[in-house]
Amino acid sequence: MSESFRTTPPDQPWSSTTPANGYQNPHAEKPVPDGDDAGDAGKVVLVGVLGGLLSAAGYLIYRRLPDEQKQRLHSQARVLLQERISEIRRNFNI
């Protein structure tokens, strides 16, 4: 083919290194990620550890509360849960 019939810019190659014709090799090696997954895994572990520490601290504080405040917390949690369940039922028309 001559340059006069070329529809792509002259600085662009005729064919790319990755085929885009639907006949790609399914067994070709995939590019290896450059360590992004390792950073994400570290962040997930850090968030998990922090969550565990916060929940343990919350439990220790809860254990030291007087019974009256524990009962108030139970009733507030029960009301919030009932409201959330009724909201979900309304949204799904159950």
Taking the C-alpha atoms of residue 40 and residue 72, their distance in angstroms, rounded to an integer, is 40
Cβ neighbors of 8 (< 8 A, separation 6 or more) are 14
pLDDT value at position 38? 74
Which residues of the chain fall below pLDDT 50? none
pLDDT value at position 93? 83
pLDDT value at position 2? 56
pLDDT value at position 30? 64
Q: What is the CA radius of gyration of the chain?
A: 30
pLDDT digits (tens, 9 = 90+) for 71-93: 999 999 999 999 999 999 999 98
pLDDT value at position 5? 64
Return the half-sphere exposure (C-beta side, CA atoms, 13 A cut-off) of residue 10: 3
pLDDT value at position 25? 63
